[in-house]
Amino acid sequence: MFKRSPSLTEQVKAHLKERIINAEFGVGRIPSEMHLAEELNVSRNTIRDALGRLEMEGVIFRRQGAGTFVNEANLLVKTRLEEIVPYSTLIEEQGYRPTVELIGVEKKSVSSDLIEKFDSDPADSMLVIQKLFRANDQPVIFTHTIIPTHLIKQTYTTADLLKPTYNFLPNFCGETLAYFLTDIVPLIATDALTEKLGLPATPTPLLSFEEMGYNQDNQLVAKAASYFRDDLLRLRLIRRPGG
Amino acid sequence: MFKRSPSLTEQVKAHLKERIINAEFGVGRIPSEMHLAEELNVSRNTIRDALGRLEMEGVIFRRQGAGTFVNEANLLVKTRLEEIVPYSTLIEEQGYRPTVELIGVEKKSVSSDLIEKFDSDPADSMLVIQKLFRANDQPVIFTHTIIPTHLIKQTYTTADLLKPTYNFLPNFCGETLAYFLTDIVPLIATDALTEKLGLPATPTPLLSFEEMGYNQDNQLVAKAASYFRDDLLRLRLIRRPGG
DNA sequence: CAGTGGTCTAGACCACGGG
DNA sequence: CCGTGGTCTAGACCACTGG
């Protein structure tokens, strides 16, 4: 029934998620963990792991003694901030047709404290990439990404720069992006941003992400700033009681 | 060594977290899962569960074949948005002395579409609570919370209204708050907010949370809006690759 | 009371990393 | 090669829900 890779848990999760989305269980209770374990011929622990991940995603919820239930309301929540998702996917999930344009690329030297954060040689330059994302041809996200040039080990084309940082780093730098540390900052659009995002002349509030990307060894490998038009994109989060 | 409740995993997690924060293992590798299991006299699975939660929190990171390591850089990250945390705790974690003031309470009727979302009777009124949080006596967060009065089953004092919604609901409404669905919205401070938060007269960008609180049965039990001064509080998030 | 999810155990095999 | 974390199993007992 299932292969060896990806993990059984991951396959079971995907399998159950599909059945849930297809409303195979209706909107109510889904079969018990014991029954699912028998049906899929895996151990109950594997089922529990898979259900646990689906619960984290808000697809289901569980009640001790009662059962596991489809979380109908939350099937509508598309955007989950705590996961790194390509901006084009985010735009698509909110119902628009995404496009990306490369606004600028340059290699330049930067301030010494930034060099230090990157644990770079003072002589190093940085690759600065500016991109504009559109939703149905309307500008919605402007991004500004900095990657130390010494990390780049393969030649790249202009098209490669349009890829999400999360994909660019492993392909051209041999670095994995383990996580982003993201500061969420509100601001009033500057003149430059007003022009790039095609905003009205009146002062407009914008949401921005200031992100530091780290690899598995906790070394800074990318720094990014993103500016969102919040009238078109909604940034949404599920917040749960802390453990 | 350990008691029955809270769960073994939770106790092991707290135990290990303390030892890590006390730098008992230095900044490098911590003992292997097998060794920890022997030392604490629990199964390896329990150790793994606990380590898994610490990894989610960014306290440690793991590398197959290599070991489990203290995540030195991230011990500094205090605020984790994806968890519901009392605002006074959030303020405290960022190094300030928190205080709360009740700005206003009233019962009033609200628009019919809001009534509908709450699945309430049209005759129902809503309890509207407005609070101001200060950090070292400087206003930093203004909150506006709506709870349907029909949910309230116990009499409460003014002091009770200062409690976080997360605590008020179970104590006085017999409802658990299972999760918040939070929209993150940037805005320019209105005159009212400028006054309440003691902002300068110039247009100031603010971060706001628009939150819908649901119980275990996915029924809306609270609605809240929060406005943050971002110059004093930083809202930070760890974003990881999606699974 | 039976059935559910919540927790924990002991043991097994695998994939990967570093010496 | 050995030790690490990653995955999976089978079985057990508990706490809770609901009829």
Tens digit of each residue's pLDDT (9 = 90 or more) over B123-142: 678 999 999 999 999 999 99
pLDDT at residue number A4? 65
Check residues 50 to 109 of chain A and report those whose beta carbon is under 7 Å from nucleic acid strand C: 62-68
pLDDT at residue number A191? 93
Amino acid at A33: E
- For residue A59, the chain B residue with the least C-alpha distance is B218
- For residue B45, the chain A residue with the least C-alpha distance is A45
Q: In the complex, which nucleotide's C1' lies nearest to the CA atom of residue A64?
A: C5
pLDDT at residue number A222? 92
User: Rounded to an integer, what distance in angstroms lies between the CA atom of residue B235 and that of residue B168?
Assistant: 24
pLDDT at residue number A151? 84
pLDDT beyond 70 at B208: yes
Residues of chain A with pLDDT under 50: none
What is the mean predicted confidence (pLDDT) over B3-15? Answer: 87
Contact list, B239 vs chain A (CB under 8 Å): 81-84, 179-180, 182, 211
pLDDT at residue number B134? 97
What is the mean predicted confidence (pLDDT) over B75-86? Answer: 74
Q: Tell me the pairing of strands A98-108 and A67-70.
A: unpaired
A133 CA to chain B: closest CA distance, Å? 19
pLDDT at residue number A98? 97
pLDDT at residue number B39? 93
Q: Residue B230: which pLDDT band, with cuts at 50, 70 and 90? A: confident
pLDDT at residue number A122? 64
pLDDT at residue number B242? 67
Strand C proximal to A211 Cβ, under 7 A: no
User: Rounded to an integer, what distance in angstroms lies between the CA atom of residue B28 and that of residue B72?
Assistant: 9
User: Rounded to an integer, what distance in angstroms lies between the CA atom of residue A12 and that of residue A30?
Assistant: 14
- For residue A187, the chain B residue with the least C-alpha distance is B205
What is the mean predicted confidence (pLDDT) over B43-59? Answer: 92
Strand C proximal to A48 Cβ, under 7 A: yes
Nucleotides of D strand lying within 7 Å of any protein CB atom: 3-12, 15-18
pLDDT at residue number A123? 67
pLDDT beyond 90 at B73: no
Q: In the complex, which nucleotide's C1' lies nearest to the CA atom of residue B9?
A: C7
**Given A53, A205, A216, which is nearest B63 (Cβ)?**
A216
Greater model confidence, B237 or A217: B237
- How far CA A155 is from CA of A168, A217, B111, B163, B167, in Å, comes to 11, 24, 59, 57, 56
pTM for this model (two decimals)? 0.82
User: Rounded to an integer, what distance in angstroms lies between the CA atom of residue A28 and that of residue B149?
Assistant: 29
pLDDT at residue number A72? 78
User: Rounded to an integer, what distance in angstroms lies between the CA atom of residue B183 and that of residue A109?
Assistant: 38
* Beta-carbon separation of B207 and A187 below 8 A: no
Strands (E), B33-153: 60-63, 67-70, 83-84, 98-108, 126-135, 138-148
B19 CA to chain A: closest CA distance, Å? 18
- For residue A231, the chain B residue with the least C-alpha distance is B185
Where b means 16+ CB within 10 Å and e means fewer, B145-159 reads bbbbeebbeeeeeee
Greater model confidence, A241 or B21: B21
CA of A86 to C1' of D13 (A): 45
Contact list, B218 vs chain A (CB under 8 Å): 61, 71-74
pLDDT at residue number A166? 87
pLDDT beyond 90 at B33: yes
Q: Which helix (H) or strand (E) holds A54?
A: helix A44-56
pLDDT at residue number B150? 84
A109 CA to chain B: closest CA distance, Å? 25
pLDDT at residue number A243? 60
Q: In the complex, which nucleotide's C1' lies nearest to the CA atom of residue A48?
A: C5
B235 CA to chain A: closest CA distance, Å? 6
What is the mean predicted confidence (pLDDT) over B3-9? Answer: 80
pLDDT at residue number B77? 64
Q: In the complex, which nucleotide's C1' lies nearest to the CA atom of residue B62?
A: D5
Q: A97-101, B89-93, B109-113: which range is least confident on average?
A: B109-113
